Structure 1
Amino acid sequence: MEHVEKVVLKKSKKKAKEKKSQKNNDTHNQKWAVLSISSIPLVMTLGNSMLIPVLPVMERELGISSFQSSMIITVYSIVAIILIPLAGYLSDHIGRKKVIIPSLLIAAVGGLISGWASWKMADPYWLILIGRSLQGIGAAGGAPIVMPLVGDMFKNEEEVSSSLGVIETSNTFGKVLSPILGAFLAGFLWFLPFFAFPVFCAISILLMVLLVKTPEKRTEPIPFKAFFKKIKEIFKNNGKWLYAIFVAGIILMFVLFGVLFHLSDILEKQYDIKDVKKGLFLAIPLGALCLSSYITGKLIKENKSLMKWITFSGSILLAASVGILGFSTNLWFLMAMFAVGGIGIGVSLPCLDALITEGIEKEERGTISSLYSSMRFIGVAAGPPAVAIIVKQSDQLLFYILCGVSILAALAVLFAIKPDKEG
């Protein structure tokens, strides 16, 4: 009898050890999976922002206007605006990886088309725009699907939150790295950033195929008619504060990409700052944005009231910083004010994200998040061409308009977001 008990005990210990080993192995695999997934927003950020320091060079090489060069950024964003909600809905039906991997392939092809046209054609502008449109399709089916994919992979809310933190860090790292890398590559050949993008996509595809397991389907996706009805219901019940968040998101991205476009232009044309040096200058406001965004994300936790007042204060800080830019042309004063504006945007964005996450039911979160991503892309799309048109009148007018729209964002947050009533 004693012998039997010993055998049973030994077997039970062995099973426990195997279970623990399996759990450790699963945790290790999940960490690699999260790192692989985090490469997607990094790649997509590089795909767009890497071109900002190169735009003045493109104007010179292609013989195009400032407005035409701004369209190289804008066309990417317009396509993404239209397709993000569709990609989100499609990923619910056929699976996240089945949307993400083809999207990365399409984005890579877009980069190759833009690069080849720049290299081989005498007048490549329109083909570059077609390539950028394909990259926009890839962006729609790439980065926005990452959030629901992470939600599928983990059961524990804390694990989801922690993984999204890694992904957001990757995204912000991409924002800081992109102007430096873009300027560095363009220092060799101005169209090299186009060719670099497919390489980054290929690495991301490889990581997704090898290290990310497709999670088991948990819930049946709802039919399109019911899906559309549900969205209408959400906006009927939560419209006021959601519209305010959408407006603030559009304005913050409009100001950010408008300012980056203008800064890239004046650094080269007025201050003769080019190549990697220009990339480092552009990284100053982006670095301020990323650091403030990271710190704010850690501080806000689940405090909706704090989120509202931080967003309001950030928008006012942004308005003040761009409003006084017209009073001096000193380079370091401009950089300091752009950095302060970066902080204003940086503290606001994680609060807007969190207000949606905290204020919308889990089942509906993915849909509203994808719509919010589309709204932000409107700001990205509109910023550069609007700045290119306004700056023809005067720099001062540009800064006053940017100040005015930033105040509009602050007012939308102040009057429409009522954390105690959101429910």
Structure 2
Amino acid sequence: MPKSGSPLELTTLAAIPLVMVLGNSMIVPVLPTMERELNLSQFQVSLMITAFSFAAGLIIPFVGYLSDRFGRKVIIVPALILYGIGGIIAGLAAWLMDNAYNIILIARIIQGIGAAGTAPIAMALIGDLYSGSKESKALGLIEATNGLGKVLSPILGSLLALLIWYAVFFAFPALCFLTALAVWFLIKEKNPAKPKPLKQYLASLKQVFKEQGGWLVTAFFVGSIGLFILFGVLFYLSDILETEYKLDGVIKGAILAIPLMGMVTTAYITGGRIKQNKPLMRKIMLTGLSILTASMIAVGFFKQIYVMIGLLTLGSIGTGLLLPCLNTLITGSVAKSERGMITSLYNSLRFLGVAVGPPVFSWLMGISHQTLFFSVAGLAALTFLLTFFFIKPGAKNKKGTGKTEEPTSLFKKVPAK
């Protein structure tokens, strides 16, 4: 058993979001091919992302509660196995059936249910295992790994599509099973506290939202919008590269990886620098949202591919500044006994943002390029304003100790008049 904080333990934790992302994002570059091969509409093919993410978003709060009650590993391991099984079902349907769309869609829902118990619970597990700067660094690492999966996914998906388009479904089940084994044997979970009765558990959650609901709900929304824009942009870029610029295969995958690489690098650096400095986190979040808003406005004025890729990469850098800060704030906002549910609610909304992104972008693409990006810029600007007014660091220390009060005094609370 590796020591807590060892490279082997961190690598195992980082593999969880990597597997989750590969299962979802590797199909992005093959969506246009799937559309042709299965004779689908653009909306039908966008449901391949939406079905996965919507299923995950609905299930995550339930697995969050179960992880708080029974432990993190007993949720993560079966979830990874189910995730791999869903991929096998989708691949077999595409390979053996003439009309495979409905079965593949069901398999994507199964994958989404499995994904619900992976990265969201890993985030809570990191909060259990680490504290202080080690926690923010570990959270930055899994956000960066999450992003790295998005970088590798279009390239790997495009390479596998050279064999056959549905090879992407068969590619990651083995990785799911290996990661499940690694989590079970290499992660030493701290002894969970005696689980609270459901009534007491719900009362504790109610108290958390009573004390911190304003900033928590805002943080959930901001994270959701960040992922909504990111996956919508990937869907848009994948579509225009193939339909307007006739780019396919590895070249298209490499181009899709460019904006994602900007996000990955930024997220990793940010996670390592923010530590527990909450005023700094707020400044970084506002900076990231400013960059994201400005880049989306600028893209509305340009359709040249090189300029768009540069601006979309800039927007992804803004997202990379935003997400590690949100992860650290939310994970540290509650005691261990409710952490699984809080991080799960946050990730649930992130998944729903991913689910809504492709169909909304598809609809707005049908109107006009400027309508699409000016609408997205307006949404990014709204998240900036919400962050500015509702997420305000101001933890108060216990008198004479210099230690922050536990468990939830992260932000200023306006006293009742």
TM-score, normalised by the number of residues in structure 1 = 0.88
Q: Greater helix share, 1 or 2?
A: 1
Code of the residue aligned with 2:142 in structure 1: it is: I
Task: Please tell me whether Structure 1 or Structure 2 has the larger radius of gyration of its CA atoms.
Answer: 1
State which drifts further: 352-361 or 126-135: 352-361
Q: Per-residue CA shift, 1:337-361, capped at 9, x if unaligned?
A: 1111111111111121222244444
Question: Which deviates more from structure 2 when the two are superposed, residues 227-236 or residues 134-143?
Answer: 227-236
Determine if contact 1:72/1:129 at 8 Å carries over to the other structure. Answer: yes
The question of whether the paired residues in 2 share the 8 Å contact of 1:302 and 1:358 is answered with no
Query: Is there any run of 5+ residues in structure 2 with no aligned partner, and where?
Result: 396-410, 413-417
Question: Contact conserved, 1:36 with 1:211, CA < 8 A, in 2?
Answer: yes
Deviates more, 1:261-270 or 1:193-202: 193-202
Q: Tell me the distance in 2 between the aligned counterparts of 1:29 and 1:288.
A: 27
Measure how far apart 1:158 and its partner are: 5.4
* Equivalence for 1:202: 177
Q: How does 1:261-272 map to 2 (within 5 A)?
A: 261-272=235-246
| Percent of aligned pairs with the same amino acid | 46
Query: Are 2:325 and 1:368 equivalent residues in the alignment?
Result: no
When residues 303 and 28 of structure 1 are mapped into structure 2, their CA distance, relative to the original with a 3 A threshold, is closer
**1:208-242 Cα distance to aligned partner (Å, 9 max, x none):** 344345x3523111122222222121111111111
Partner SS for 2:193: coil
How many aligned residue pairs are there? 397
For the residues of structure 2 that align with 1:37 and 1:96, how far apart are their CA atoms? 12
CA-to-partner distance for each residue in 1:380-422, whole Å, 9 max, x for gaps? Answer: 1110011111111112111111111011111110111121371
- Aligned pairs for 1:149-228 (under 5 A) are 149-153=125-129, 157=132, 160-213=135-188, 215=189, 217-228=191-202
In 2, the alpha carbon distance for the partners of 1:148 and 1:318 equals: 27
What residue identity is the alignment partner of 1:311?
Answer: M
| Partner AA of 2:83 in structure 1 | A
Distance (whole Å) between structure 2 residues aligned to residue 314 and residue 353 of structure 1: 14
Correspondence list, 1:171-320, <5 A:
171-213=146-188, 215=189, 217-320=191-294
The residue matched to 1:27 in structure 2 has which SS? coil
Given that 1:29 and 1:211 are in contact with CA atoms closer than 8 Å, whether structure 2 keeps it comes out as no
The question of 1:87 aligning with 2:63 is answered: yes
> TM-score scaled to structure 2, two decimals?
0.89
User: 1:33 Cα shift?
Assistant: 3.4
Q: Is contact 2:224-2:350 (8 Å) kept?
A: yes
1:106 to 82, 85, 92: 82
Q: Is the 8 A contact 2:124 2:343 kept in 1?
A: no
Structure-2 change in CA distance of 1:216 and 1:329 (3 Å): closer
- Two-structure CA RMSD over aligned residues (Å): 2.1
Where does residue 395 of structure 1 map in the other structure?
Answer: 369
**1:342-381 equivalences in 2 (<5 Å):** 342-381=316-355
How far apart in 1 are the matches of 2:333 and 2:202? 19
1:116 aligned to 64, 87, 92, which one? 92
Give the AA of the match of 2:108. Answer: R
- How big is each residue's C-alpha offset from its partner over 1:310-344, in whole Å with a ceiling of 9 and x where there is no partner? 21221121111111213222110011011111111
